[in-house]
Amino acid sequence: MPSEPMPRTRFVWHLFFGWCTLLAAVIVACFWQASVRLAELADDAQLRRSIAVAEAVASRLPERIGGDAAGSVETIVADLARSSGMQIDLFDGEARPVLPAGRPASQGSGDERLLQEARQGRVARSSRYDAATGRRVLAIVMPSGTPGRPKAIVRVTTDSLESDRSLGREQRQMLAGFVAIALAAAWGGYLVAKRCSQSVETLAGVAGRLAAGDFDTTVPAAELAELAEVAEALEAMRQQLVERGLTIGRQGSQQEAVLGSMVEGVLAIDARQRIVSINRAAADLLGLDPAKAVRRPLQEVVRNPDLRRFALRAIDCREPIEDDLLLRGPRDRTILVRGTALADSRGADGGAVIVLNDVTHFRQLENIRRDFVANVSHELKTPIASIKGFVETLLDGAVDDPGDARRFLGIVARQAERLEAIIEDLLALSRIEQTEGAGNLPLEEAEVRAVIEAAVSDCSPRAVEKSIRLEVACEQGLVVPMNPPLVEQAIINLVDNAIKYSEPERLVWISAQHGTAEEGDEQPCAVIAVADQGCGIAEEHLPRIFERFYRVDKARSRKEGGTGLGLSIVKHIVQAHGGAVSVESEPGVGTTFRLFLPMAAESAAIGSS
C-beta closer to ligand ADP: residue 160 or 533: 533
Binders of ligand ADP in range 457-476 (CB under 6 A):
none
Name the DSSP letter for residue 85: T
Q: Which is nearer to ligand ADP, 329 or 504 (CB)?
A: 504
CA distance 155 to 111: 10
Name the minimum Å distance from CB 447 to ligand ADP. 25
Our CB check for ligand ADP shows the closer of 327 and 545 to be 545
491, 567, 576, 597: which one binds ligand ADP (CB under 6 A): 567
Residue 593 CB, nearest distance to ligand ADP (Å)? 7
CA–CA distance, 590 with 501 (Å, rounded to integer): 9
Between 408 and 550, CB nearer to ligand ADP: 550
Pinpoint the alpha helices (H) of 317-465: 360-395, 402-438, 448-465
- From residue 318, alpha-carbon distances to 209, 276, 313, 322, 575 in Å are 42, 20, 10, 13, 48
Q: Which is nearer to ligand ADP, 189 or 383 (CB)?
A: 383
Nearer of residues 452 and 565 to ligand ADP, judged by Cβ:
565
**Residues 84, 197, 279, 497: which binds ligand ADP (CB under 6 A)?**
497
Q: Is 501 in the site for ligand ADP (CB under 6 A)?
A: yes
Closest separation in Å from C-beta 500 to ligand ADP: 6
d(CA 5, CA 116) in angstroms, rounded, equals 75
Q: How many residues bind ligand ADP (CB under 6 A)?
A: 23
How far is Cα of residue 401 from the mean position of the Cα atoms in its chain?
91
- Binders of ligand ADP in range 534-563 (CB under 6 A): 534-537, 545, 550-553, 557, 562-563
CA distances from 71 to 55, 104, 502 (A): 20, 20, 182
Smallest gap, in angstroms, from Cβ of residue 419 to ligand ADP? 14
Exposed (0-12), middle (13-18) or buried (19+): which is 567, by Cβ within 10 Å? buried
Task: Give the bridge partners for 143, in sequence order.
Answer: 153
Span from 66-74, 195-203, 457-465, 497-505 in contact with ligand ADP (CB under 6 A): 497-505
114 touches ligand ADP by CB under 6 A: no
Question: In angstroms, what is the minimal distance from the CB of 585 to ligand ADP?
Answer: 7
Name which of 142 and 545 has its Cβ closer to ligand ADP: 545
Least Å distance, CB 420 to ligand ADP, is: 14
The answer to whether 383 contacts ligand ADP (rule: CB under 6 A) is no
Three-state SS annotation for 91-158: EECCCCEEECCCCCCCCCHHHHHHHHHHHCCCCEEEEEEECCCCEEEEEEEEEEEECCEEEEEEEEEE
Cα torsion angle, 497, 498, 501, 505, sign = negative
**Is residue 498 within the footprint of ligand ADP (CB under 6 A)?**
yes
Assess 564 for contact with ligand ADP (CB under 6 A).
Answer: yes
Site string for ligand ADP, 175-214 (x = CB under 6 A): ----------------------------------------
Which is closer to ligand ADP, CB of 371 or CB of 553?
A: 553
C-alpha span between 472 and 69 (Å, rounded): 187
Do 526 and 448 contact (CB within 8 A), yes or no? yes
CA 179 to each of CA 13, 24, 45, 185: distance values in angstroms, whole numbers, following the listed order: 21, 9, 28, 10
**CA–CA separation, 336 and 326 (whole Å):** 9
CB 498 within 8 A of CB 530: yes
Question: Of 158-166, 229-237, 290-298, 530-538, which part binds ligand ADP (CB under 6 A)?
Answer: 530-538
Element holding 191 (H helix, E strand): helix 161-211
Task: In angstroms, give the least distance from the CB of 469 to ligand ADP.
Answer: 15
Taking the C-alpha atoms of residue 410 and residue 398, their distance in angstroms, rounded to an integer, is 13
- CB 531, min distance to ligand ADP, A: 9
Contact residues for ligand ADP, defined by CB under 6 A: 493, 497-498, 501, 532, 534-537, 545, 550-553, 557, 562-568, 591
